[in-house]
Amino acid sequence: MKRFLGALLFMSAVHFANGQNQVVKIIPEPVSVQQANGNFLWDKTVVTRVEGNNADLSQTIAFFLKQINTVCGTKNTVQKSAAPGKKEFIIVLNPAEDNTIGAEGYVLKVEPNKIKLSANKPSGIFYGLQTLMQLFPPGASGAAFVKNSFQVPCVAITDYPRFGWRGLMLDVSRHFFSKEDVERYIDEMAKYKYNVFHWHLSDDQGWRIEIKSLPNLTKTGAWGVPRTGRWNSFALPQPGEKATQGGFYTQEDIREIVRYAQERFITIVPEIDVPAHSLALIASYPGLSCTQQQYAVNSGWSFYKKDDNVLCVGNDSVFLMLDKIFTELAQLFPGKYIHVGGDEAYKGFWEKCPKCQRRMQEEHLKNVEELQSYFVKRMEKMLLSKGKKLIGWDEILEGGLAPEATVMSWRGIKGGIQAAKQGHHVVMSPWDNCYLDLYQGDPAAEPPTYGLCRLSASYNYEPVPDSVDAKYILGGQGNLWSESVYDIRHAEYMTWPRALALAEVFWSPKSKKNWEGFIGRLEAQFPRMDAAHIKYARSVYDPVITAQKAENADSLQVQLATEIKGLDIYYTFDESNPDNFYPKYSGTPLVFPAGASDLKLITCRGGTPVGKQITVSKADLRKRLKK
């Protein structure tokens, strides 16, 4: 792998030394790219100039120049007037709106002596700068001096997004991420033109936001007993064991992160997950559940057959407390949406709860599904009174959808189709294409999790079903649940490169989708991520392993494939480690020889290993076959 990364870096350096060989490789793919001959030399003589006096651009341009000056060792600043005879980088907010590019689009033209970036709005300038950064060599993405000048290929780009909602979700409840971690994640999102950060702030495993009127939420709900290892296999809290694992964000932390995101044209959508997934809330205030039992915050242990983590919908105190929570939440987050979860509510406690049954009688509700609908509709009225719109997971459709609710469809696309046909807005986020916590390669070579979502599944996803009016599809979102994600490095590994694929799904024209073209542009991003010290997965290079029944019932055969073209697979059954001098897979299924217990595999390109060595046992393959 080191040899391959070194080769990539060398090729990148050669390309930027020789302008005639440069190829523009941008993610997400722009609407129009017209490459021309020649280069613009970015060095200390470049003059950066803003046409017009627009203070809204000052911070955005300062971000860009700080990065470039760091890696170039230059001191470029913004000049107020033209500099005849000098190379210029000109930034323009269009005095008359260009209807083609809309609010987030831009036009970027690189010529030998001039770069011009124009847009209708500051957000368009910001996104244009992200594209310009990808025209610089990989080292420009780092945080240290590289060299005094860079070649920028001459090109004309016109670009604008397909969807207005281009989101990533980070779950900070199952495992807590520091303020600095969250800001780093937002930085990485911004590079690829994401504009929504969905922040999952509460769940059974932790309450992560300070609510001043309810201090016990963070005194108790933010902390669990420390556990390390495989999720859902931990011991229950022991007598006298202190809850020291977790954390929360103060309201000042929240304000700082909101400002940080706004500076990068990212809107934060906070989520407080109710009525289920509420054990941290219930642990803090036990009277809010139907059973009113006292629980500890769940640190990843599994005990209850049906989780007692659901709020009592018949208890008026629940709504009084939620009103306090969402009042403070609405004051902290300026975006128009608040996410209320609404997913996976076990309704068995409601069926037995006298308060819930009385509520159903008073409201003339036929069943507990309609009781959930009653809860969501009441939440919507609460949020509307605070100037916010409700969004929830597709379970909020059950029992009848709240009048103005937006649906985030995660259990496939069915919920999204149903909501759109009812005239509701939808954010598409089906788990088998958009869940970033799933396996992205063969489980034998990946950290433990559940389910499978390969890079190709994310890239080939289409957010607009044929049967719905596209105007109801706001866009899409990738979701990173953190049950098995302990820290920001692992979060990055699970996010990238699948979030690169989704960035293109949500931004680029549908007509420009091309898997092979994407792979070429993807590989150009890896050296940039290396320079920025971003951890990413290379699982797309690993073989796809499929167990099959053999004619001999005692044997087993294996079909192999690769997600991308041009890779060879080498294998052994004799416990030695294969390289490109071992047998090469020809396409014919492999049969385990008598006595062999393991199959070892590695992929190569041009004789050089590019994937991880994978060892998969015959016993494991038999288990897969049974499933």
The token pair at 560 is 């192999």
Decide: helix, strand or coil at residue 576.
coil
Identify the CA nearest to 403 among candidates 379, 387, 427.
379
Provide CB contacts within 8 A for 18, sequence distance 6+.
none
The token pair at 130 is 């992200």
Residue 23 predicted with pLDDT over 90: no
The pLDDT score that the predictor gives to residue 303 is 58
Decide: helix, strand or coil at residue 300.
coil
Cα separation, 592 vs 256, whole angstroms: 58
182-185 LR contacts (CB < 8 Å, sep 24+): 182/257, 183/257, 183/260, 184/488, 185/488, 185/491, 185/492, 185/495
Look at 60-64, 215-219, 369-373, 404-408 and tell me which has the smallest mean pLDDT: 60-64
Across the strands, what pairs with 475?
A: 165, 427
CATH topology of domain 18-159: Chitobiase; domain 2 (3.30.379)
Task: State pLDDT tens for residues 123-179.
Answer: 999 999 999 999 999 999 998 888 889 999 999 999 999 999 999 999 999 999 999
What class, spelled out in words, does domain 542-626 have in CATH? mainly beta
Give the torsion through C-alpha atoms of 224, 229, 232, 233, to 10 deg: -110
CA angle in degrees (0–180, nearest 5) for 370-372-376: 115
Task: State pLDDT tens for residues 381-392.
Answer: 999 999 999 999
344 has catalytic annotation: yes
Residue 604 predicted with pLDDT over 50: yes
Task: State pLDDT tens for residues 28-47.
Answer: 999 999 999 999 999 999 99
DSSP assigned state of 544 = E
DSSP assigned state of 589 = P
Per-residue DSSP letters for 422-485? TT--EEE--HHHHBTTSBSS-GGGS-S-SSB--HHHHHT--SS-TTS-GGGEEEEEEEE--TT-
Each domain of the chain, given as residue ranges in start order, spans 18-159, 165-520, 542-626
Active-site annotation holder among 256, 263, 344, 370? 344
Average pLDDT of the chain, as a whole number:
93
Residue 520 predicted with pLDDT over 60: yes
Cα separation, 583 vs 564, whole angstroms: 20
The pLDDT score that the predictor gives to residue 54 is 78
Task: State pLDDT tens for residues 576-587.
Answer: 999 999 999 999
Please tell me whether the peptide bond between 275 and the residue prior to it is cis, using omega within 30 degrees of 0.
yes
The token pair at 331 is 């004051």
Name residue 1's amino acid: M
Report residue 437 CA to chain centroid gap: 10
> Sign of the CA dihedral 515, 516, 517, 519?
positive
Question: What percentage of the chain reaches a pLDDT higher than 90?
Answer: 86
Contact 187, 194 (CB under 8 A): no
How deeply is 144 buried, as exposed, middle or buried, from its count of CB atoms within 10 A (0-12, 13-18, 19+)?
exposed
Spell out the SS3 assignment of 169-219. EEECCCCCCCHHHHHHHHHHHHHCCCCEEEEECEECCEECECCCCCCHHHH
The token pair at 449 is 């999790």
Q: How many CB atoms neighbour CB 227 within 10 A?
A: 15
Look at 1-10, 224-233, 339-348, 464-473 and tell me which has the smallest mean pLDDT: 1-10
The pLDDT score that the predictor gives to residue 77 is 85
Task: State pLDDT tens for residues 300-352.
Answer: 887 555 789 999 999 999 999 999 999 999 999 999 999 999 999 999 999 99
Cα separation, 203 vs 276, whole angstroms: 8
Question: First CA to last CA across the chain, in angstroms?
Answer: 33
Residue range 368-394: mean pLDDT, rounded: 98
Task: State pLDDT tens for residues 429-481.
Answer: 999 999 999 999 999 999 999 999 999 999 999 999 999 999 999 999 999 99
Identify the CA nearest to 195 among candidates 129, 270, 268.
268
Residue 553 predicted with pLDDT over 90: no
Length of the chain: 627
For helices 58-72 and 251-263, angle between their N-to-C axes, nearest 10 degrees: 80
In the block, tokens 């996410």 appear at 339
Identify the CA nearest to 312 among candidates 339, 344, 274, 280.
274
CATH number for region 165-520: 3.20.20.80
Residue 101 predicted with pLDDT over 50: yes
Spell out the SS3 assignment of 369-404. HHHHHHHHHHHHHHHHCCCCEEEEEHHHHCCCCCCC
Cα separation, 23 vs 5, whole angstroms: 19
Task: State pLDDT tens for residues 476-515.
Answer: 999 999 999 999 999 999 999 999 999 999 999 999 999 9
